[in-house]
Structure 1
Amino acid sequence: MNMTEMGEVVAYLLRYRAAERLPAGGRKRRAARDGQLSERDVCALIDDASDIEREALRDFLAGQGLRLRVYEAGDYPGIAPGSRYYALLPDPDMDQPPLYTREPVFNALRLRQESRAELATWYLQLWLLMHTLLYTRYNRALSDVSRYQEATFAGAELVDLLRDQVETLRGLGDEASEAQRSLLDERGEDLSRRVRAFIELHVGAGMLEPVRDDDTSGEVWQQTLLGALESEQIGIHQLGHLQALIEGRGEQGGSLDDVADEDIEEAESRDRDSLNDDTEVQA
């Protein structure tokens, strides 16, 4: 694998996040397209790479805050015999460069002129509710990666759960935080549109895939192995502070609301910085 081929392999992995030598579940291997290798060629290049070439690939990805995980048949259900599953995951010990922007998420969820802080709140609520459907109702821990194939939900279920959550927040009245109140100014089909955009984001990122259409609930979505691996990593490396707060081990008597408020304040600060930058450019 020369440097050109390494760049093509990385480009493929950045686009699809995963590659399989022998795709399971009847999925066809992704064909080559203009400027991009086929899935078969990507797997062959990694398989045939020497130890030195693989180390160079790992170093190249590490410089971007990423790492390539390799799984064999038998490691998890859904990996076909004789196959190998390559998953590109963020390295929890490293920061990713500003090149990897959150703008596609903000643009997908934006319906009007919501701030980044408001859109971040929407994303967090939808992410937590989706994991309620994928994990909590199956009595499944984030570490139960091998159960990803049984984790399905219908889009209508997520809409209903989100609607219930909004009504619960509405019932809090003045007790609702500022971040929570930003979710209450919805109209018409806004909730369905946000859920649809959220699901499409996760399908595009390889975290969900459609499995069937249900006559009563509409399209049904299943978590992918990549989605389960990433959720496990988030649970281990990024949600640990929330568990500590729940158990009363947070520093200086912090609370979950404090954590949420800090996240929203950070997003609002980015909004102000962006506005200031735009003003300077216009000046």
Structure 2
Amino acid sequence: MNMTEMGEVVAYLLRYRTAERQPGNGRKRRAAREGQLAERDVCALIDDALESEREALRDFLAGQGLRLRVFESGDYPGIAPGSRLYALLPDPELEQPPLYTREPVFDALRLRQESRAELAQWYLQLWLLMQTLLYTRLNRALSDVSRYQEATFATSELVELMREQLETLRAQGESAPESSRTLLEERGEDIARRARAFIDLQVRAGQLETVRDVRDDGENDIWQQTLLGALEAEQVGVHHLSHLIDLLAGEQRTDAQAEDNRESPLTAEEMRQDESAIELETDDTQTDLLGMAEKGEGVEVPHTESQETAIKDRASEEERT
């Protein structure tokens, strides 16, 4: 594999994210297109490369914050016997270059003249609801990568969940987070249009693939998580969201300590330190999610109600003391 061929392999992987010797699930091999190799040729070039050439390819991808992972037929369901799947994944140990931007997300979800912050809120809500459909309702952990073929949902299910989310938000009235109230300005078919645009983004990113196409009613298309999507979700959970578990555990410990110490309240100084710690952890969470937005994985999220309530309660108690 010479440098020209390596560039063609990288171009293909950047476009499709995966290449497979013998595609499973009835998918046909991707044919060559103008300026792009065929899937068969990409796999052959990687398979036949010398170890020194593979090392050069790894170094080239690492410079872009990426890693090429190889999976055999016995590693996960859906990989055909005798086949091999190459998946291009962000390397969690490397910094992503600025060429990975959020612009495709904003362009896809924009219906009128919404601000970037408003579009980020739409993406966040749809992304979280998709995780509900792929994980929560299946009682599935992010580490359950091998169950990716079970993770299916219909377009109409995502639309309905989004409607329910907005009704819940509307019922909160003035107590709803200010940053989320812009979602309530949706009109007519906004939800369905944004949901379809969001799903298209996930398909283009290799996170979802169609299972059944009901051509007379696009709202009932069935989508399945891809192996690439399951691998990335696991990686996001381990390397980007694991601190949220620690944050929740910390809140539980704080609640337990407050119950034990009702007769021995915190001093004003202790409360100020505790409040600062909560704010710091929340800021770190927002920064991580904003970083994921650049990879098409997530966007910024406001303070949770439990965190805001904890801060307000402690401030009130400090004033009384």
Do the structures match in fold with TM over 0.5? yes
More displaced 10-residue stretch of structure 1: 228-237 or 247-256 = 247-256
* Superposed CA RMSD: 2.3
After superposition, residues 1-283 of structure 1 pair within 5 angstroms as 1-213=1-213, 218-248=220-250, 252-254=277-279
Work out the CA distance in 2 between the residues paired with 1:9 and 1:63.
15
Is the alpha carbon distance of 1:263 and 1:109 closer, same or farther for their aligned partners in structure 2, counting shifts above 3 Å?
Answer: farther
More displaced 10-residue stretch of structure 1: 12-21 or 201-210 = 201-210
Work out the CA distance in 1 between the residues paired with 2:54 and 2:278.
46
More displaced 10-residue stretch of structure 1: 170-179 or 258-267 = 258-267
Q: Check the 8 A contact 1:72/1:85 in 2, yes or no.
A: yes
Q: Deviations over 1:193-212 (max 9, x none)?
A: 11000001111111111111
Work out the CA distance in 2 between the residues paired with 1:173 and 1:259.
28
Percent identical among aligned pairs is 73
SS in 1 for 2:22: coil
For residue 253 of structure 1, report the CA deviation from its aligned partner: 2.0
Work out the CA distance in 1 between the residues paired with 2:17 and 2:232.
11
The count of aligned residue pairs is 267
For residue 241 of structure 1, report the CA deviation from its aligned partner: 2.3
Work out the CA distance in 2 between the residues paired with 1:131 and 1:223.
10
Work out the CA distance in 2 between the residues paired with 1:173 and 1:258.
25
Work out the CA distance in 2 between the residues paired with 1:262 and 1:143.
23
Gaps of 5+ in 2: 252-273, 294-321
2:298 — aligned with what? Answer: none
The structure number with the bigger radius of gyration is 2
Q: Check the 8 A contact 2:244/2:285 in 1, yes or no.
A: no
1:277 — aligned with what? Answer: none
For residue 254 of structure 1, report the CA deviation from its aligned partner: 3.9
Work out the CA distance in 1 between the residues paired with 2:120 and 2:240.
16
Work out the CA distance in 2 between the residues paired with 1:79 and 1:137.
25
Q: Deviations over 1:36-86 (max 9, x none)?
A: 110000001111111111110000000001100100011000000110000
Gaps of 5+ in 1: 268-283
